[in-house]
Amino acid sequence: MIEKKITLVPIGDIDDSLLEYISQSIKTTFNLNTHLIPCQDLIGCVPEPVFGGRYNSTTLLKQFHECLPGKIFKLVAITDLDLYSPIFSCFFGEAQLGGCCALISLHRLGQEYYGLVEDKALFLSRCEKEVIHEISHLFGLLHCSDNNCIMYPSNNIIDTDVKSSSFCPSCNSLIERALV
């Protein structure tokens, strides 16, 4: 039987303290433990960038799924690579709805990307929101129309900043049922 825990895989040079923060956010939100595996376990799964130095997130997710080491319940790859999809020219993450693999990009979550002064607290808040949002997709949650709910889609960084890191009552009920 597969143990219910979230496996984190850093793709690139991801700070250990950020991984610890994300791990704690997952534990607090979902009451699930995390497990860190090294990127080497997915070597060969990251292709060359194909669109202006950006990586196709859908292709990466498919390749990660094919490279999964052993029995994994849910896997979240965290990268500083810039992502795109056939639908969006750039965004912050993608997940297999009801599946086992999600991908989060830190590339556009820092204030520095927008030419502004670094704000560590804001960066951590954005990371937490994106990770919780994408993991929730893994548990089958869809986007929510409540712009304060964590499941509201982030079409830009302002959407991420405005929404809370919590579920609305409806989405909270859905995630509670999904976690049973």
Round to whole Å and give the CA distance between 113 and 67: 31
Which residues are identified as catalytic? 134
Long-range CB contact pairs, 166-170, < 8 A, 24+ = 167/136, 168/144, 170/144, 170/146
Instruction: Quickly list DSSP for 147-175.
Output: TTSTTS--SSHHHHHHS-SS--HHHHHHH
Beta bridge pairs of residue 74: 6
Residue 124 class from Cβ within 10 Å (0-12 exposed, 13-18 middle, 19+ buried)? middle
Residues 134 and 94 sit within 8 Å (Cβ to Cβ): yes
Q: How many CB atoms lie within 10 A of CB 119?
A: 13
